[in-house]
Amino acid sequence: MSEDIKKGVNYLSQKKISPEERLIFALDVPTERDARTLVERLGDAVSFYKIGLELFMSGAYFSLIDWLVREKRKKVFADLKFFDVPETVRSAIKQLHNKGITFTTVHGNDSILEAAVKEKGDLKILSVTVLTSLDQKDIEDLGFKVDIKRLVLSRAKRSLEIGCDGVISSGLEASELRKSLGDNFLIISPGIRPILNRSMDDQKRTVDVEEAFLNGADYIVVGRPIRIAPDPRLAAENIQQRIRRLFT
């Protein structure tokens, strides 16, 4: 738990986002059939889906997005972490227009982010700060001789100055982002582990549902704790109940 929360200080989001949309489910399955089956099973317990590289490689990425948006009336976060030469990123972002996608992710330096922002239209661009699967040792191994929180803050500050709509950040750093950069941007926090055993996978910088939101996250991304649960719908509903208690 963060020191701010221990002191009774929180950064609970005041943005006009319905509580049920604040949970984004990571639809990380290998095939479109698996994805549709899981969406049907979750029903109205989930209204916002993150679709990443695994389904992109299935060959059915955009047909699945169209089904989610047009037929199921769900929101979609295209988590493709675009990282390439700026012109390629600009062209790729342009291809996402008119597909009903709400968020997408971009990873890279200023010129890459600028190219994405230039072409975003109604799409919201989220800059990746530091992956939640990385800890301080990993950052140092990559050659960054800096505290991980300072790195997240530096990347977020540059991203927002360029015109990104928000950032992907662990809930561990969310409170520092709010204190330093204010409330006029989105924080989406993955690495949510709403169970006691947080050593279940490769995520290293994790928080639970309440801590993420009290530290300033606008949305949380949850994958495995729902997907591998004996009853995924019940697991999602339990998280939704926790969110509603915070925001209502």
Hey, where are the domains in the chain? 3-247
Query: What was the pLDDT predicted at 207?
Result: 84
pLDDT digits (tens, 9 = 90+) for 83-112: 999 999 999 999 999 999 999 999 989 999
* Model pLDDT, residue 151: 79
| pLDDT tops 70 at residue 134 | no
Helix (H) or strand (E) segment spanning residue 186: strand 186-189
**196 has a pLDDT exceeding 50:** no
Share of the chain above pLDDT 70, in %: 85
What is the pLDDT, as a whole number, of residue 183?
96
Q: Is the pLDDT of residue 166 over 50?
A: yes
Mean pLDDT, to the nearest integer, of 119-136? 80
pLDDT at residue 173 above 70?
Answer: yes
Half-sphere exposure of 172 (CA within 13 A, CB side): 22
**Scanning the structure block, which residue is given the tokens 């639809």?**
27
CATH top-level class of 3-247: alpha beta
CB 175 within 8 A of CB 2: yes
202-246 pLDDT, tens per residue?
554 468 999 999 999 999 999 999 999 999 999 999 999 999 999
Res 199 pLDDT > 70: no
Q: Which of 72, 75, 81, 99 is catalytic?
A: 81
More confident of the two residues 186 and 150: 186
Q: Is the pLDDT of residue 133 over 90?
A: no
pLDDT the model gives residue 227: 95
Quote the DSSP letter at residue 11: -
Examine the residue annotation and report whether 81 is marked as an active-site residue of this protein.
yes
Question: Looking at residues 183-210, what average pLDDT do you find?
Answer: 73
Structure confidence at residue 39 (pLDDT): 98
Distance of CA 147 to the CA centre of its chain: 22
The residue ranking higher by pLDDT, 201 or 163, is: 163
What pLDDT is stored for residue 3 in this prediction? 65
The pLDDT, as a whole number, for residue 9 is 82
Q: Comparing C-alpha atoms, which of 187, 165, 56, 164 is closest to residue 110?
A: 164
SS3 28: coil
User: Is the per-residue pLDDT at 36 higher than 80?
Assistant: yes
| Averaged pLDDT score across all residues of the chain | 89
